[in-house]
Structures are given as C-alpha cells and as structure tokens.
Amino acid sequence: MTSNLAFLVSGDGVFAKFVYKNNALLNNAHFTLVICEKKNKAFDYFSSIDGVKCVALDYCQNKEKVDEKIIELMNEFEIGYVFTTYDKVLGTSVVDQYKGRIYNLHLSLLPLHPGLNSAQISIESSELFFGASFHELSKEVDQGKILGQVILSKDLTKSYLENRIILIKKAQILFLDMIYKVLFESQYNYGRLPFNPSLSIEIEKIKS
Amino acid sequence: MIESVKEEFYKKFGKDTVFSLELTKDDVPKWDSLRYIAFLVSLEKKFDIKFTPESASTMKTIDDILKYIKQNQP
C-alpha cells in the first residue's frame, strides 16, 4: 500500500496546513495531493508548495464529472489514503473506491450534529460538552465508524469565538494524531475498537 | 479605536500587509480562519464586546469590523 496522502479541503484548509507543517511527525509520509473545493485560500497556500500537487475543482460542472475528476487525480497520483475536511458530499463512486481508506474530520461530537455548521451549532447548544470526531467516510453523511474524538468541556464564561478557537486547535491535534494512527497503527488494531485514545504523537513535538 | 485595531491586526497577521479600512482576507497573505478568529477575540477583550457567529462570518472588511465594534461597545 502506497503511503501517498490526499487531502480534500474547503475554506482555508487550516487542518490540512497543520498536518503539512507537522509532516515530519508522520515519518514524512508523502503529502502528495490537495484537492480544493474551489480556488480558495487553501489553494493559494498549497499551490505554492513544491512537491505538493494542488487542484481546485469546478462545482459548476455536473457533480458526476467532479467525482470522476477526483478519482482520476487519486489514480494518477497513486493515493493510498484520503483525509477530508470538506463541505461537499462526495459521490458514491469516490467513497467506494477508497472504502476503508478515506476518513473525515467533523467538528462535533458525532453522532450529535452531523452536517454543515456543526461547530457553531454545538458551541451554541445547551450541551455542556463539545468537540470533534474523526471517522471513516461512508455513503451516508457523517455516519461512518467513529475512530477517535476529542471531547471538550464548554467554558460558559468564554465567548463563542474563544470556544471555537479551542475547538479548532484541539481538532487539529486530533486530526494529525489520527492520521498517524491510521498510517502506522491500524495494522495492529484491525477488528478491535478503534485506537488507543491516548495521543500517539508527543504533544511537545507538535508545531502549532 | 482604529489604532488599537491596527495594532491587533499587525500582531495577528504580521506587518507584510499595509493596514487599511478596505482590506479583505484576500489582501492578507497570512490570513486564515484561526488567525482571524484570534484577531476578533483580541478585539473582544480590548473593547469588551462579543462577536456573534453571524457577524464573524459576514464581516468582509476592516471597516465592517470597526462598525460592528462601534455599534456594540458598552
């Protein structure tokens, strides 16, 4: 299995950028391909990096054509694993091709708050906890097997934005650590519930 | 007020960009959502205000941010 990695990103790609900055902690797994939902801040950032192929999609096209393009890129670059922080729903053809090798970071404690705007909804809810989930991507939106979560106690004295910063920073670490686990520990965990909930990467080594 | 906003702007985004009221995220090379939120949080503390999620996502320029602060300061 190739360890070429692909990232599907929306917005400014703050999670993929975090992984890229810390790629050395992933034993330099090959950060190969970034597919952006459109020409956005993430596209500006990754398209300037040598050795990383960055492509912006065109969702004005027929959705099947976009899915075909994604698969074509994955095949061209021999992608082994796909990690998404993506606002678009991927087609069945993409999910099927990468079954068991495509994962998503979602900003809520799934199964609570699937879908868009989950971070805002969970921070503004009356729930005392909020967080992020890393899960296998399945055909049903945000319904795949949950492999890891970060659970945060809501500080009601803090503003919405302060809680949001805490969530993003902790979710970045979860994303990086779960990618490490998928790449280097999954062979030891097959068939058992998911992963050691402790961090596999030493927190002191992570660049923010 | 504008000097305080400018000071926080430079702290969060660096001095590569010339500060102006018309600036948008596309004009700021170091802009990302995390820095932007940190910038707004620093303004919340400085001016004793709270940005709503809707305001944080709809403000496009520095001028929009200044107007929001003026309208919501105690």
pLDDT computed for residue A87 by the predictor: 87
CA distance A45 to A64: 27
pLDDT at A106: 97
Do the bridges between strand A31-36 and strand A53-56 make them parallel or antiparallel, or are there none, so unpaired?
Answer: parallel
d(CA A79, nearest CA chain B) in Å? 27
Q: Contact A168/B34 with Cβ under 8 angstroms?
A: yes
Distance from CA of B68 to the nearest CA of A (A): 15
Whole-complex ipTM: 0.92
Contact B32 A12 (CB under 8 A): yes
Q: How many CB pairs under 8 A join A and B?
A: 40
Task: Looking at B15-61, list the stretches that DSSP marks H as alpha helix, in order from N- to C-terminal side.
Answer: 33-47, 53-58
Do A161 and B44 lie within an 8 Å CB cutoff? Answer: yes
Residues in chain B where the model's pLDDT stays below 70:
none
CA distance between the termini of chain A: 30
User: pLDDT band for position A115 (50/70/90)?
Assistant: very high
Q: A49-80: per-residue pLDDT in tens? A: 999 999 999 888 888 999 999 999 999 999 99
pLDDT per residue as tens digits for the range A141-161: 999 999 999 999 999 999 999
Nearest CA of chain A to the CA of B27: how many Å?
11
Cα separation of B12 and B16, whole Å?
11
Confidence of residue A196 (pLDDT cuts 50, 70, 90): confident
CA angle, corner A68, sides to A96 and B33, nearest 5? 85
User: Residue A112 carries which side chain, given as an amino acid letter?
Assistant: L
Residue A16 or A190, more confident: A16
Backbone conformation region of residue B20, classed left if phi is above 0, alpha if psi is from -120 to 50, else beta: beta
* Winning range, highest mean pLDDT, from A99-103, A166-170, A182-186: A166-170
